[in-house]
Structure 1
Amino acid sequence: MYYSGRPVSARLQLIGSSVDLLGILREPFALLPLGFLIVIIGTVMAVTRLVRRKRHSAQSRIR
């Protein structure tokens, strides 16, 4: 999940932003929070997995 956020960020860079004739900024703003959200979810999942693995291995040593 963590690595899924990287292509979203790369896509944001590829699309870029521009200013139209009326002076309005045009950019794919939704990709920015989406990429951050995916990276944060992936990081939380990885940390949770590591904590569970450590806790499980510590309990196995006690028995």
Structure 2
Amino acid sequence: MGHFGKALNNYEKSSYYLEVVGAGWFNKAGYYYMNLQQDTGLLGLREAKMSYHPEYFLKKYTIKKN
């Protein structure tokens, strides 16, 4: 599960590169899926994550204090 990722803006597609390299490393270690967390409602972030063609989505839950 990825909690945080940061790349320099002055290098085009550097965040994409880091995701691809990370996915390759995890795959070699025997992992098949990566959970990149939620898009927090940001359209650009959702579009970027959808470009990875997710196989499925986890069900969301909301916890509220009574």
TM range (shorter): 0.3 to 0.5
Identify, as 1 or 2, the structure richer in strand. 1
Output the TM-score relative to the length of structure 2.
0.31
Identify, as 1 or 2, the structure richer in helix. 1
